[in-house]
Amino acid sequence: MIIFRATTATIIFILGIIFLVKLFTAPFALINVIIALVCFAIAYFIWPSKKQGQRHEDSWFLDVMEMLIELPVEIIFWIFRMLGHLFRRGDGIDIDF
């Protein structure tokens, strides 16, 4: 089951990369952005993550694929965390005019 989930997530991730490349090589289409983001999100949720204890075997290929598949979503999470920290603090930004 883990191999099936990893293969499915990898195929969906590659499909997301194809739509992302298509975004830069063809005229801009918002649908390409949406499909790429949805593919990345689906691949992230399908992937059997070692961090979450769903995969226990050691495989350098699966570890590299996990890093690649989780990277886009982790970057988005990091951006939202930084924005949350920026607006949560009372002493975050002090601009005087």
Out of 9-23, 29-43, 78-92, least confident range: 78-92
pLDDT beyond 60 at 11 = yes
With vertex at residue 55, the alpha carbon angle to CA 50 and CA 60, rounded to the nearest 5 degrees, is 70
Closest CA to 10 of 75, 56, 73, 61: 61
Residue 62's pLDDT is 78
Residue 97's pLDDT is 47
pTM: 0.74
41 residue type, one letter: A
Q: How far is CA 9 from its chain centroid?
A: 11
- Provide DSSP, 32-92: HHHHHHHHHHHHHHHS--TTTTS--S--HHHHHHHHHHHHHHHHHHHHHHHHHHHHH-TTS
Residues 30-84: pLDDT tens digits? 999 999 999 999 999 998 876 666 666 777 887 888 889 888 888 888 888 888 7
Q: Where are the domains of the chain?
A: 2-88
The sign one gets for the Cα dihedral 74, 77, 83, 84 is: negative
